[in-house]
Chain A
Amino acid sequence: MVAASSPVRVAACDCLTPFGDARATVAALLRGERALRPVPVRGVEGGDAVPLALLPGRALDETAPPAWLAPLRQLLAPVIAEGWGTARRPVCIASSNFGVGSIYAFRRGHGDAHRATGTPHDCVAWLRREFGWGENVATFSHACVTAHLALLHGARLVQAGGAEAALVFAFDFLSPFVAGGFHALKILNAEFPAPYQARATGAIGLGDGAAYAVLARGVGDFALAAHAVHNEMHHFTANQADGAGFDRVLAALPADGRRLWLKGHGTGTLDAGRLESAALARRFPGAPLVGWKGALGHTLGSCGLVELALALAAVRAGRTPGTVGAASPTFTPEVALAAFDNAAFDGVLCASNAFGGAHAALLLAHA
Chain B
Amino acid sequence: MLERYLESLRTDDPGAEAPAATRERLKPRFAPGAARRMTLLGMMVGASLHELLGPADDSIVYSSSFGEGTALEGFLESFPTPSPTLFQTSIHPSAAQQALIGRQRALPELLPLAGGPELVAQAALAALLAPAERVLWCGGEERGTWLREAGLASDRSFAFALALTRARPAAPLARLALEISDQPGALALPAWFDLLHARRAWSGAAGGGWHLRLEWL
Tell me the A residues contacting B by CB distance below 8 Å. 1-2, 4, 42, 45, 47, 85-88, 90, 96, 98, 103-104, 106-108, 115, 118-122, 124-125, 134-143, 149, 153, 156-157, 160-162, 176-177, 180-186, 229-237, 245, 355-356, 358
Contacts and interface: CB of A to CB of B under 8 A. Distances in A.
A133 to B, nearest CB: 10
Given A229-B108, A236-B101, A137 B122 contact: yes
Interface of B: 2, 59, 65-67, 72, 75-77, 79-84, 87-89, 91-93, 97, 100-101, 103-119, 122, 125-126, 129-132, 147, 150-152, 180-181, 186, 207-210
Contacts of A356: 97, 100-101
B88 A4 contact: no
Given A134-B208, A139-B114, A181-B84, A4 B97 contact: no
B119 A121 contact: yes
B84 A233 contact: no
A229 B93 contact: no
A138 B126 CA distance: 9
B52 to A, nearest CB: 16
Given A86-B209, A87-B210, A230-B108, A139 B88 contact: no
A138 B125 contact: yes
A160 B88 contact: no
Contact of A139 (B77, B79, B113, B147): B113
Given A233-B106, A356-B97, A185 B114 contact: no
B152 A135 contact: no
Contacts of A107: 76-77, 79
Contact of A181 (B80, B82, B115, B151): B82
A355 B92 contact: no
Determine which residue in B129, B152, B210 has the highest number of CB atoms from chain A within 10 A of its CB, and name it. B152
7 closest A-B pairs by CB: A121-B116, A181-B87, A136-B208, A87-B209, A120-B114, A184-B84, A139-B115
A184 B87 contact: yes
Contacts of A98: 114
Nearest to A181: B87
Contact of A161 (B87, B103, B129): B129
Nearest to A87: B209
B101 A234 contact: yes
A101 to B, nearest CB: 11
Contacts of B108: 1-2, 229-231
Contact of A160 (B75, B129, B180, B210): B129
B92 A125 contact: no
Given A156-B129, A355-B88, A356-B101, A87 B80 contact: no
27 contacts: A1-B108, A2-B59, A2-B131, A42-B79, A87-B210, A103-B72, A107-B79, A118-B152, A120-B65, A120-B92, A120-B114, A120-B115, A121-B115, A122-B116, A135-B186, A137-B122, A140-B111, A140-B113, A143-B91, A176-B79, A181-B84, A184-B83, A185-B88, A230-B108, A231-B100, A231-B107, A233-B107
